Amino acid sequence: MLLLSAQQIQEWDAFTMQHEPIASIDLMERAAQRCVDWISANDFSDKKIKILCGKGNNGGDGLAIARLLLQKNYHVSVYILEFGARGTDDFQVNLHLLHQLSSEIYFIQSAEFIPVIEKEDIVIDALYGSGLNRPLQLLSKEIVDHINLSGAAVISIDVPSGMSIDKSSKGNAIIHATHTLTFQSLKLCFLLTENADHFAALHVLDIGLHPDFLQSADTVFEIVSQQQIASSIKPRKDFSHKGNYGHALLIAGNKGKMGAALLAAKACLRTGAGLVSVNIPKEDHSTINTFLPEAMTTDRADEIAFHQYSAIGIGPGLGTEKHEKIILPLVLEEYGKPVVIDADALNIIAENKNLLQLIPADSIITPHPKEFERLFGVCENDFERLNKAIELSAQYSFIIVLKGHYTLIASNGKGYFNDTGNAGLAKGGSGDMLTGMITSLLAQHYEPLQAALIGVYLHGLAADLALENQSTESLLATDVIDAIGKSFNYLKD
């Protein structure tokens, strides 16, 4: 699914009007009807509905929604932000039609005209849509603040007013919606943590925009689909053997952190690697041998013949002591093939930025936001961090897996969001097993970008399927690892 800019969304509307063809007023009517269908299905018929409209096309949507709700005998009053402009043509048409049905149409010319909103009311926010490109000020800001303080349930149309869809609105006045009814497709703003409290429950309404537009649309960001992942997974051949699926080496674990090595190794095996070796301190070999007999161990004090391994993952529970600071540059300089770099390995690089230049081409780094900022500098907001990841993925030859609720995989100046996973992953061990999973896929000779995309998707999907037996509160990394098999089978169905 492509994530379109505000301009591209307008172009999609125009393309639909030209190629369906359909008049703009009829397309607005279609969008309004989808909203009314949703409102009717959620049964707000016993509530007083107050619709606040701007004079753009988002306001026109609000007026059309008001008319359609009145025809269903809802109790509706409409309040229009009056700032001197006449309003768009479609806004004016819908205002004329509404006047024929209702006298409860009011204009907010100054703060004293802002309506009283009771906690029991339903507010429909149709003030500003996806075309907004500046912070709300003066009367607009006062209205938004008033709605937010009312305690009433708010339904925002397309986007909560005050939120930009493709740049940061952090610190600006934004509606706190209870529900957001967005049109046709997800927008970038809905994938970012900084906006989560504003759009709340998100509902994507299909308004029939012409699908052919997407064939020629060029975007930086997209959401990875289940079909993309399912079609990328290689079936295992009946006459294959362990050598066909690679030998993965995980350089992980240290005193007090052997759990990270165990989780990474078990996830690596569950994701299909033929052989897995874990490079750990000599005194900890028994931990792996006892709790994960399917894995092999190598001594961290030994010289490592890197060339014998199909893929290497380094970092989970590694530590940042003297020996670990020696082994990481050796891996980066001597291995010569893509490496998965996580956790303490990233922290070592953050202390010595020159190591960035040594990372082999097509390697995969997997930072969470704080690790990302330690590597590349503090970001003021989520949009800045995303854009920096995209720029860096074009500047360097490695892939960046920027972990979050919607993890971003940045590669060669393009960004791929993952939409599997849940809050149960907000727990220790989740990143360790992801490192193991991606390393496993690299060992099985998936292309690095494929390995990153599939690994992140399977990681989230396994967490989702594990909720059949757990809750987000109780979910453990081991529960997710045990559901990796379910996630493969799910994609095969």
The answer to whether residues 81 and 142 touch, using CB atoms and an 8 Å cutoff, is no
Specify the pLDDT at position 25: 98
Query: Are β-strands 275-280 and 296-299 bridged in parallel, bridged antiparallel, or unpaired?
Result: parallel
Helix, coil or strand: residue 484: helix
Specify the pLDDT at position 300: 86
Structure token pair of residue 11: 């172009």
| pLDDT of residue 304 exceeding 90 | no
Specify the pLDDT at position 85: 80
Q: Distance between CA atoms of 298 and 439, rounded to whole angstroms?
A: 17
Q: Average pLDDT of 85-93?
A: 93
| pLDDT of residue 302 exceeding 80 | no
Q: Average pLDDT of 113-134?
A: 95
Q: Distance between CA atoms of 39 and 48, rounded to whole angstroms?
A: 13
pLDDT bin (cut points 50, 70, 90) of residue 493 is confident
Specify the pLDDT at position 185: 95
Q: Distance between CA atoms of 34 and 36, rounded to whole angstroms?
A: 5
pLDDT bin (cut points 50, 70, 90) of residue 217 is very high
User: Which tens digits make up the pLDDT trace of 124-150?
Assistant: 999 999 988 899 999 999 999 999 999
pLDDT bin (cut points 50, 70, 90) of residue 455 is very high
pLDDT bin (cut points 50, 70, 90) of residue 45 is confident
| pLDDT of residue 301 exceeding 80 | no
Q: Average pLDDT of 75-88?
A: 92
Bridge partner residues of 50 (DSSP):
77, 123
Mean pLDDT over the full length of the chain: 96
Q: Can you give the pTM of this predicted structure?
A: 0.95
| pLDDT of residue 303 exceeding 90 | no
The answer to whether residues 97 and 68 touch, using CB atoms and an 8 Å cutoff, is no
Q: Average pLDDT of 262-290?
A: 96
Specify the pLDDT at position 124: 98
Q: Average pLDDT of 84-95?
A: 92
Q: For residue 461, give the H/E element and its range.
A: helix 448-466
Specify the pLDDT at position 43: 85
Specify the pLDDT at position 133: 86
User: Which tens digits make up the pLDDT trace of 381-408?
Assistant: 999 999 999 999 999 999 999 999 999 9
The answer to whether residues 62 and 133 touch, using CB atoms and an 8 Å cutoff, is no
Q: Distance between CA atoms of 331 and 239, rounded to whole angstroms?
A: 33
Which domains does the chain possess?
6-218 (3.40.50.10260), 226-492 (3.40.1190.20)
Specify the pLDDT at position 338: 98
CA angle 250-359-382, nearest 5°? 95
Task: For residue 323, give the DSSP letter.
Answer: H
| pLDDT of residue 83 exceeding 90 | no
Structure token pair of residue 412: 């060669």
Q: Average pLDDT of 101-116?
A: 96
CA angle 469-474-475, nearest 5°? 70
